[in-house]
Each structure stands twice: as structure tokens, then as C-alpha cells.
Amino acid sequence: MSATRRSLLAASVGATLMPGLPRLSRAQAANTIRIGVLNDQSGPYRDISGPYGIECTRQAVAEFGDKGFAVEVITADHQNKPDVGVNIARQWYDQGVDLILDVPTSSVGLAVNNVAREKNKAYINTGSATSDLTGAQCSPNTVHWMYDTYMLAKSTGGAMVKAGGDSWFFITADYAFGHALERDTGTFVKAAGGRVLGAVRYPFPATSDFSSFLVQAQASRAKVIGLANAGADTINSIKQAAEFGITRRGTKLAALLMFLPDVHALGLQTAQGLVLTESFYWDLNDRTRAVTQRLQPRLKDMKPNMASIANYSAALHYLKAVADMGIAASKASGVEVVNRMKALPCDDDAFGPGRIREDGRKLCPSYLFEVKTPAESKAPWDYYKLIQTTPAEEAFRPLNEGGCSLVRS
């Protein structure tokens, strides 16, 4: 009996220590640029980027073509654990990886941010939402691509307050991302004259039942329940809010971060009418439809969303900078590559024209969408109606408000 108990405990400890480190296949070659895509390939954020983010990176490499150097894409699963992410990042940079890309889950994203700076390598984050990456924790080695908590808060939060949702209660994932999203949204709500009545912070990623938190939120009598979470957590929250009749009785749900695959997983029946913010939608204009069509053979029956396609956009711009300054110089200093990326204007089919600010923030427009009703949806993946566009220069936190040390005042 006691042997069983002991082995049981040993197994649960073993289960958390399982990850092995991925190894590089070949020795370092001076004429090869290595891009390491580090993301969640087995957990709640897998469908948002995961294997699709990798394919989008490969598409960028293929479209970039041969400019006199080879490009190799390697990948790993960080399992949303900062310690696993940092170990892989350290090993990759030491073994000659030039750029780490993607890195969802803000706690991991912030941890890898420090490694890149310490090793003077390039780091483009497309997956983490925390606005601290270009604020208090900004780094000359880091570019933050297509979204952040400030941009989500301004677009979705601002629109909800304008529509009369002036009292809020937050259901927040208890880690860096949830805290940042709650903070940034709360700031907008208060600035618009609204009130934050309370918040409940639940353990991430160990929570799948949100009914208790939803009932607490409802008891606060707030007009809006702000979901400061993402992925499967958001899906479960919305599903259970519908079950408890919360939206039917006038309380509004604000899904502060939602991606196209989340809507797909919920089904339009449950998701209809939700408003959400993304900086990309495949059916937005001719350019987005064109790039989606080029990507489709790689993504099979999945459509790109702002997170997966940001890897395409970011890898393309990075390779442009490398070609511009030469492979030797770009391998020598991550700061120099990032500076060159900031100096060059961005333009691609996914996000259109834009630029990278001195704090590392890539600027692009943000779009407020409403999820269509089943009757309005004419084809598979026809999910969004555009209701508002915030131009690139206004979508993100003003440069001087982030507290980034790279910004000269």
C-alpha cells in the first residue's frame, strides 16, 4: 500500500519534470541563419500558433528565397513553463540559433526576453500579450509583433465602455498575462468614467471549471464581466457563462483576448455577438486573402489568425534586415539586427505597411470584430464582421507612457 502511494507521488513529480531538451541536428555553419520557433505545441495555446506558427515561418522562408545564405527553421515545445522555455532558449542561442520567434505565454515570453538580452541575440515575440515587453521590461534585443494587452484593452475595453458597460468585474488568469490584461483594461475603464467592482484570479493552467467565478462575478452586479484569459480557458468561460444564463440576463461578456480558432472551437451558436480584437483576419482585404491562399496548403483545414501569421510577417522582416546588413554582421550582434529592423519600413500582405518603434513595438492597425450569427456566416471560417478600425499609430500605448528605458525623453 505505502509503496503504491510513494510511487504515485513519484510519478506525479516525474510528470512535471519530463521535458527533454531538443537538440540541434547539425553543427553550426557560418552561412546559415537559424530561426528557432519556440511555442506551445501540446497545451491550451497550441491551436493559436503551435504547428501552424511553424508552418507560417517556413512559408516566409520559402517566399524570401535565396539571397546568398541558407535559412534553417528549428522548433521546440516550451509547454507554457518558464523554466523549460529558458533552458531551450539558452541552449539554442549557445548553439548558434540567431533568432527566437513566437514564444506565447507571457511568463515564458518575459523569461526568454532576459536570455536574449544576456546573449545579445535577436528575439521577436509574437505570442505573448503582456505590454511589459515594450514597457518596463523592454530590451534592445526584442521586438514585440502584432498585439499586446494595451492594444486589446483599448480596442475591446474602450468599445464596451462606450456602449454603456461602465462597471466591470474581471476573471483573470493568475500569471503575468492575466495581470497585465486586467491592469490595462482597468485603466481604460476608469479613464472613461467606469468602475472596476472586483476581480478574481484563478490558478493557470489548472482550472477548467469557471462556474464559481462566473457566479461571483454576477453577484458583484457588474455590467461587464471581463475575461482576462485566453485559449481553452476563454472557451470554457464563455461556454459556462451561456450555461448559467449570464448573458441572457443582460450582463455582457468581454472576451479581452480571443483568436479565430477559439471562435471555431466554440461554434457560432455560442460565440455569436461577442466582440473581440485581432490585428489580422484572413477575409479582411485582398492582401490578407492572397496570403491566406498561399498558406493554405501548409495549414490544411486551419485558417491563419493574428498569432500564427505574425510569425510569417516577423520572419520575413527579420530576413530582410539580415540580407540588408550581411550575414556576418547580423550573427555578431542581436542589438544591431534589431536596430536594422527598426530602421527598415515593414510591409507584408498580412499586416500591411508599418514600422517598429524604438521601444521594440511593431505598429499595425487593430480591428474590432463582432462574431457573426450562424445565419450571417456564408462559408466555413466566415466568422467576423469588422466594426471598427484603430489606425497603427493610435492602436498601441504612446511611446512615452510605457516606461521603457530605451526611449529618450
Partner 1 sequence: MDDIFGIPAPLLFGQLLLGLINGAFYAMLSLGLAVIFGLLNIVNLAHGAQFMMGAFAAWMLLAWGGIGYWWALLLAPIIVAVTGVILEKLFISRLYKLDHLYGLLLTFGLALIIEGIFRNEFGSSGLPYRIPPELSGAWDLGFMFLPIYRGWVVIAALVLCLATWLIIEKTRLGAYLRAATENAALVQAFGVNVPRMVTLTYGFGVALAAAAGVLAAPIYSVNPQMGSNLIIVVFAVVVIGGMGSILGSILTGFTLGVVEGLTKVFWPEASATVIFVIMAIVLVARPAGLFGRA
Exactly one of 94, 243, 393, 401 binds partner 1 (CB under 8 A); which one? 243
| Residue 219 lies near partner 1 (rule: CB under 8 A) | yes
In whole angstroms, the minimum distance from the beta carbon of 199 to partner 1 comes to: 9
Nearer to partner 1, 209 or 401 (CB): 209
| Residue 264 lies near partner 1 (rule: CB under 8 A) | yes
Window 46-75: residues binding partner 1 (CB under 8 A)? 46-48, 50
Which amino acid would we find at residue 311?
N
In whole angstroms, the minimum distance from the beta carbon of 89 to partner 1 comes to: 22
- Give 12's DSSP letter: H
Which amino acid would we find at residue 10?
A
* Cβ neighbours, 10 Å, residue 379: 7
| Residue 269 lies near partner 1 (rule: CB under 8 A) | yes
Residues 100, 127 contacting (CB under 8 angstroms) = no
Q: How many CA atoms lie within 13 A of 363 on its CB side?
A: 20
| Residue 373 lies near partner 1 (rule: CB under 8 A) | no
Residues 51, 44 contacting (CB under 8 angstroms) = no
In whole angstroms, the minimum distance from the beta carbon of 156 to partner 1 comes to: 20
In whole angstroms, the minimum distance from the beta carbon of 190 to partner 1 comes to: 23
- Give 226's DSSP letter: E
In whole angstroms, the minimum distance from the beta carbon of 171 to partner 1 comes to: 9
| Residue 308 lies near partner 1 (rule: CB under 8 A) | no
Exactly one of 79, 207, 272, 288 binds partner 1 (CB under 8 A); which one? 207
Q: What is the spatial distance between Cα 254 and Cα 261, in angstroms, rounded to a whole number?
A: 17
- Give 230's DSSP letter: -
What is the rounded end-to-end Cα distance, in angstroms, of the chain? 67
| Residue 148 lies near partner 1 (rule: CB under 8 A) | no
3-state helix, strand, coil in the chain (%, to 5): 45, 20, 35
In whole angstroms, the minimum distance from the beta carbon of 257 to partner 1 comes to: 13
| Residue 211 lies near partner 1 (rule: CB under 8 A) | yes
C-alpha cell at 396: 498601441
Stretch that binds partner 1, among 84-92, 113-121, 205-213, 396-404 (CB under 8 A): 205-213
Q: What is the spatial distance between Cα 396 and Cα 154, in angstroms, rounded to a whole number?
A: 8
Residues 103, 125 contacting (CB under 8 angstroms) = yes
Q: What is the spatial distance between Cα 161 and Cα 191, in angstroms, rounded to a whole number?
A: 10
| Residue 240 lies near partner 1 (rule: CB under 8 A) | yes
Q: What is the spatial distance between Cα 46 and Cα 25, in angstroms, rounded to a whole number?
A: 24
Window 12-51: residues binding partner 1 (CB under 8 A)? 12, 15, 42-48, 50
Q: Give the total of residues touching partner 1 (CB under 8 A).
A: 53
Which residues are at the interface with partner 1 (CB under 8 A)?
A: 1-5, 7-8, 10-12, 15, 42-48, 50, 174, 200-203, 205-209, 211-213, 215-216, 219, 231-232, 235-236, 239-240, 243-245, 261-262, 264-267, 269-270, 302
